[in-house]
Amino acid sequence: MTLPEVVLRQPPGRPWGSANVSPFCAKLETYLRMAGVPFRAEPGDPFRSPSGKMPFAEIGGETIADSQVVIERLEAEHPTPLDAWLDDAQAARARLVRRMLEEAYYFVALWLRWGDDEGYATVAPAFRALLPAAVGWLAVPMIRRGIVKSLHAQGTGRHTRERIHEMGKRDIDALAHAFEGPFVLGARPSTCDATVFAFVEITLGFPCPSPVRAHMASITPLATYHAMMRETYWADAGLGPLPS
Ligand SMILES: N[C@@H](CCC(=O)N[C@@H](CS)C(=O)NCC(=O)O)C(=O)O
């Protein structure tokens, strides 16, 4: 069975030499690369996304939003799905790790970029570069206000800077303890690797020093894993060296 070409809609470019500005887009592109699904990445317009978020994908004439929904759809159609070898306990561990990163650590990473003044000074120019010159100067502070509001509503934004750093570091410790090696669940890759790689990538690849980034970089199994994933699946993408 031949898989149809997927059109991956996401923010363009490799800001700071990193896979994508968005962890969910980096996750989906990593999956497509790992699973050998033919794809073409095109700039995405969130107003054309069924969920209003990115990434979204066009598969055989259908437009589907949400990295996980797209992955599960492709896994169901794939002749050799990445998760076929998982038993129930491994699938449960994969879900716990994925949901911890996507539903908890994500907000720490979002705060590091948009809530923290130093992070914002780094992320703002990269976002302006994604927008037409005339709107960037107005739109980026508006995006910041919206994200700060959502961080407050979700709860992470109500903590002190120090506590947010601590939460991120403890999430990273949990990830490191759940990690088997050489892939997240052991000898073979699974879809969970797409998520883990993406969140390690957006942390280590964001060029604004933080205690969270330094902590992740200091955990040798995660740093080694990150380099292995980049080399195995992303070698042709021209990703840059990690910021110091
Ligand atoms: N669960 C979604 C999350 C996607 C998501 O939150 N995307 C962000 C970029 S990292 C977005 O499009 N945010 C715009 C918004 O919330 O309006 C997925 O896995 O695709």
Q: Give the pLDDT confidence of 160-197 residue by residue, as tens digits.
A: 999 999 999 999 999 999 999 999 999 999 999 999 99
Q: Atom 20, ligand 1: which residue's CA is nearest?
A: 66
The ligand 1 atom nearest the CA atom of 65: 20
Q: Atom 13, ligand 1: which residue's CA is nearest?
A: 53
Ligand 1 pocket mutation, candidates 24, 68, 105, 130, criterion most atoms within 8 A of CB: 24
Residues facing 186 on adjacent strands? 183
Q: Report whether residue 22 contacts ligand 1, using a CB cutoff of 6 Å.
A: yes
Q: For the sheet with 6-10, list strands across it.
A: 39-43, 6-10, 56-59, 62-65
Ligand 1 geometric centre to CA of 68 (Å) = 11
Out of 107-121, 131-145, 194-208, 218-232, pick the least confident: 131-145
- Residue 215: what pLDDT? 98
Rounded to an integer, the average pLDDT of 125-150 is 93
pLDDT over threshold 70, residue 1: no
How far is residue 35's CA from residue 235's CA, in Å, rounded to a whole number? 15
Rounded to an integer, the average pLDDT of 20-47 is 97
Contacts of 109 (CB under 8 A, 6+ apart): 23, 168, 199, 202, 203, 206, 212
Phi, psi (deg, nearest 5) at residue 44: -110, 150
Coil/strand/helix, residue 8: strand
The ligand 1 atom nearest the CA atom of 56: 20
Q: 6-237 is classed in which CATH architecture?
A: Up-down Bundle (1.20)
Coil/strand/helix, residue 4: coil
pLDDT over threshold 80, residue 125: yes
Q: Atom 17, ligand 1: which residue's CA is nearest?
A: 53
pLDDT tens digits for range 61-109: 999 999 999 999 999 999 999 999 999 999 999 999 999 999 999 999 9
- Residue 2: what pLDDT? 73
Rounded to an integer, the average pLDDT of 22-27 is 98
Task: Locate the domains of the chain by residue range.
Answer: 6-237
pLDDT above 70 covers what percent of the chain? 100
DSSP for 74-97, please give it: HHHH-SS-TTTT--HHHHHHHHHH
How far is residue 239's CA from residue 244's CA, in Å, rounded to a whole number? 15
